Amino acid sequence: MYSSRLAIGGKACLRSAPACIAKAQRPSTPGCIHRLAAGSRKGAKRLFHTTRVSRAEDFYDILGVKRGASQSEIKKAYYQLAKKYHPDANKEAGAKDRFIKIQEAYDTLSDESKRKSYDQFGTADPTGGMGGGPGAGFSGFGNMEDILSQMFGGGMGGMGGRGRGGGFMSVGEDIDASVTISFMEAVNGARKSVTITPVVKCEPCGGQGARKGARRQTCKTCRGTGQAMFQMGGFHVQQPCPECSGEGSTISAKDRCSSCQGRGRVRERKSVQVDIPPGCDNGMRVKLQGMGDVPLEGEGPSGDLYVRVRVMPSKVFRRKGSDIYYDVELPFTTAILGGSVQVPTVDGDVEVKISPGVQPGDELRLRAKGVRKLQSSLRGDQYLNLKVRLPKSLTAEQQRLIEQFAALASGAPPPSKAAEAPGEAAGEAAGEGSSEKSGGFFSRIKRDFEKFKHDK
């Protein structure tokens, strides 16, 4: 690659020298190197040379992947090349240098921040270049066994110790169970019994698999190490011994424990108590640490027990998170005149005041009357959805009062006197003065509504 910009004193000219000088013999950029060359001596020629810019081999080319390759593709390519050029496996000349480049390329491209810097600046360190050329910052070849163990999920170079006799560490499996509780038990919390069948150590043999008085024998295949060697592509790789399953010891058929058949593990049916916290909702899981299976082999912590909670729906309330909803049916007279009603809550019945003129579908809120929030002392709210209940049939007196109210509300003339009950007109005329004194027509309508409520 050749540089295309020439500059002196911080000024650069992007034209080629012949084009720059040929344009009216005046270079386009004052003080550019072309002008200095042209004005030196008439007819004299000044020779310039350009510098070849060296560029390190591209990391993507080294690994044989495209620039948009995923991390899994980069890792796969690295492992293949590492097996081929690792100095422990390849004694050819140049294999060592090739492996250094492969390692350096992988160290950069496997790190997203370094890869981003490399893609933008051509180096993982934009402030200091590549740090001294190929192999800079390389900390060593590493162990070929470590590379292979990464390729095979950590099962190649040892299992953290030997088996039952050597402290082999592993973790037991988690187990699941379920429990059903009522709506109110979910609100207030409860203690429930759950039956499980986890894997446990055999009590007669203490998890050793041998009958009482018998002893386990050192495995003849692995000689007690719990590891066996095998070849793969010219490499010696370790894996758990197939004879003793990585335990380092075996037991003869006649010395096996009769309870577990020499496995050292059995399933045990037992009941455990589960504390359901207040506010638990349907589908939540409660974790009981260490109540799962013990490791099938070796020593280590037991798994956990996860209890899924199923909450039965309530016949009274509806729940959304920590809030509770309840439908309140009001007589239409209460909706018009106001009053009070008894409504149930999770804490018991309470009296709620209804303002006059409420509408169907209006919603009232009772603060802190909902469900307790998990891991908190706060509670949700209870919402009352108002529904107005209308009568299906009316008496003659109720019918008359409703018609009078409808006529008054619409501004139409009241029903004719002929439609009134016999003697009512005379009685109304006789008591007209006293009626007006007692509050007028509106007071009488209200009293009639109160009487209507009482009759119901």
For the cut 60, the answer to whether the pLDDT of residue 19 exceeds it is no
For the cut 60, the answer to whether the pLDDT of residue 3 exceeds it is no
Token look-up 């988690």 returns: 174
Q: What is the mean pLDDT of the chain?
A: 76
- Mean pLDDT to the nearest integer, 389-410: 90
For the cut 90, the answer to whether the pLDDT of residue 395 exceeds it is yes
Rounded to an integer, what distance in angstroms lies between the CA atom of residue 168 and that of residue 298? 5
The conformational region for residue 58 under phi > 0 = left, psi -120 to 50 = alpha, else beta, is: beta
For the cut 90, the answer to whether the pLDDT of residue 279 exceeds it is yes
For the cut 60, the answer to whether the pLDDT of residue 192 exceeds it is yes
Rounded to an integer, what distance in angstroms lies between the CA atom of residue 354 and that of residue 351? 10
Report the helix count and the strand count for the chain, using DSSP H and E: 13, 19
Rounded to an integer, what distance in angstroms lies between the CA atom of residue 372 and that of residue 321? 10
Contacts of the segment 79-82: beta carbons below 8 A, 24+ positions apart: 79/147, 79/150, 79/151, 82/106, 82/144, 82/147
Rounded to an integer, what distance in angstroms lies between the CA atom of residue 374 and that of residue 360? 34
Per the CB < 8 A criterion, the answer to whether 11 and 30 are in contact is yes
Where residue 456 falls among pLDDT bands split at 50, 70, 90? low
Where residue 207 falls among pLDDT bands split at 50, 70, 90? confident
Q: What is the structure's pLDDT at 140? A: 47
Query: How far apart, in Å, do the first and last CA atoms of the chain sit?
Result: 102
Query: Which one, of 40, 11, 41, lies nearest residue 28 by Cα?
Result: 11
For the cut 50, the answer to whether the pLDDT of residue 334 exceeds it is yes
Where residue 293 falls among pLDDT bands split at 50, 70, 90? very high
Question: What would the pLDDT profile of 221-247 be if each residue is shown by its tens digit?
Answer: 888 887 877 766 556 677 778 778 777
Q: What is the structure's pLDDT at 349? A: 96
> Which token pair is 295?
């490791």
**Between these two residues, 265 and 428, which has the higher pLDDT value?**
265
For the cut 60, the answer to whether the pLDDT of residue 4 exceeds it is no
Question: What would the pLDDT profile of 47-84 be if each residue is shown by its tens digit?
Answer: 444 444 345 688 999 999 998 888 888 988 888 888 88
For the cut 90, the answer to whether the pLDDT of residue 277 exceeds it is yes
> Which token pair is 155?
């099962």
Query: Which one, of 251, 249, 263, lies nearest residue 221 by Cα?
Result: 249
Residue 33: in which H helix or E strand, if any?
A: helix 33-38
For the cut 50, the answer to whether the pLDDT of residue 157 exceeds it is no
Q: What is the structure's pLDDT at 431? A: 44
Q: Is pTM, for the whole model, over 0.75? A: no
Q: What is the structure's pLDDT at 50? A: 41
For the cut 90, the answer to whether the pLDDT of residue 318 exceeds it is yes
Per the CB < 8 A criterion, the answer to whether 366 and 352 are in contact is yes
Phi, then psi, of 213 in degrees rounded to 5: 95, -15
Per the CB < 8 A criterion, the answer to whether 168 and 159 are in contact is yes
One DSSP character per residue, 251-297 reads --GGGB-TTTTTSSEEE--EEEEEEEPTT--TT-EEEETT-SPPPSS
Where residue 434 falls among pLDDT bands split at 50, 70, 90? very low
**Between these two residues, 167 and 357, which has the higher pLDDT value?**
357
> Which token pair is 318?
């509806």
Q: What is the structure's pLDDT at 29? A: 45
- Mean pLDDT to the nearest integer, 130-158: 45
Where residue 254 falls among pLDDT bands split at 50, 70, 90? confident
Where residue 449 falls among pLDDT bands split at 50, 70, 90? low
Per the CB < 8 A criterion, the answer to whether 273 and 191 are in contact is yes
Q: What is the structure's pLDDT at 53? A: 39
> Which token pair is 280?
């638990």
> Which token pair is 413?
């003339």
For the cut 60, the answer to whether the pLDDT of residue 96 exceeds it is yes
